[in-house]
């Protein structure tokens, strides 16, 4: 039926414009929902295939390994002495107990310029080679658990 004025023009000045009180025209029913609602897994599956739902699982029983590069140990040796995880040796080197700062594994990246005797639970082959090339050694400890 033809009308001279549409509803949105007719009801100007009436505060709610025919939509009642307290949010009756507030949500998203008029426009099909928010965001990507209404596109149902056809067009978007190629562009964003993991948009909806859960994928995979979290291995909750695997504990994270706290690791540090061997170059980081060499650079921050004064910090380890200050917190009581390292002590200077008479020949100018240092003895470092990484388990005292909750580090479990020694990684091989970085540069070692000091003689270090490092006590740690695990170490990579490359880390052991770098420490020994600088005149130190890596002592693998049994984990205390």
Q: What is the pLDDT of residues 84-121, one digit of tens each?
A: 999 999 999 999 999 999 999 999 999 999 999 999 99
Low-confidence ranges of the chain (pLDDT < 50): none
Q: Where are the domains of the chain?
A: 67-140
User: In sequence order, what DSSP letters do the residues of 48-105 get, joined into one string?
Assistant: -TTSSS--S---TTPPPP-EEEHHHHHHTHHHHHHTTSEEE-TTS-EEEEGGGGT--E
- Per CATH, the architecture of 67-140 is what? Ribosomal Protein L15; Chain: K; domain 2 (3.100)
CB 105 within 8 A of CB 121: yes
pLDDT of 22 reads 74
Q: What is the pLDDT of residue 105?
A: 97
């Amino acid at each position: 039926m033809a009308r001279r004025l549409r509803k949105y023009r007719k009801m100007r000045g009436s505060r709610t414009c025919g939509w009642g009180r307290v949010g009756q025209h507030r949500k998203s029913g008029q426009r099909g929902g928010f965001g990507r609602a209404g596109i149902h897994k056809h067009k978007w599956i190629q562009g964003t295939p993991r948009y909806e739902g859960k994928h995979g699982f979290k291995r909750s029983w695997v504990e994270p390994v706290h690791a540090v590069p061997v170059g980081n140990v060499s650079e921050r040796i004064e910090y380890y002495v200050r917190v009581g995880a390292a002590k200077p040796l008479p020949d100018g080197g240092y003895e470092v107990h990484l388990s005292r700062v909750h580090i479990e594994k020694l990684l091989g990246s970085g540069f070692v310029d000091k003689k270090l005797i490092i006590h740690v639970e695990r170490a990579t082959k490359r880390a052991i080679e770098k420490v020994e090339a600088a005149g130190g050694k890596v002592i693998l400890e049994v984990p205390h658990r």
